[in-house]
Amino acid sequence: MSPDKLVRMANQIATFFRSKPHDEGVAGVADHINNFWEPRMRAQLFDLYAQGGEGLDALVIEARDKIRPVTHSA
């Protein structure tokens, strides 16, 4: 998936959760990504974080530590 599309999707999730109290919004973003994004999408998101997270909404950035990292089994 293109990085622009991934950023847009993540930011749409953040927009939805922006109406919640801040901590609930951060948790909601993380929960949604954990529950509905496939591992490849989460891996791409972590690549974006590693590159500085340009374009990502603040809620998406704050949710980073609550999003399950992608582990590769041997």
pLDDT tens by residue, 13-28 = 999 999 999 999 999 9
Q: How high is the mean pLDDT of the chain?
A: 95
pLDDT value at 74 more than 80: no
The pLDDT value recorded for residue 70 is 87
* CA dist., res. 35 & res. 26, Å (int): 14
Measured from the Cβ of residue 64, the count of other Cβ atoms closer than 10 Å reads: 18
The pTM of the full predicted model, rounded to 2 decimals, is 0.92
- Residue boundaries of the structural domains of the chain: 3-66
What share of the chain in percent tops pLDDT 90?
Answer: 93
pLDDT value at 8 more than 80: yes
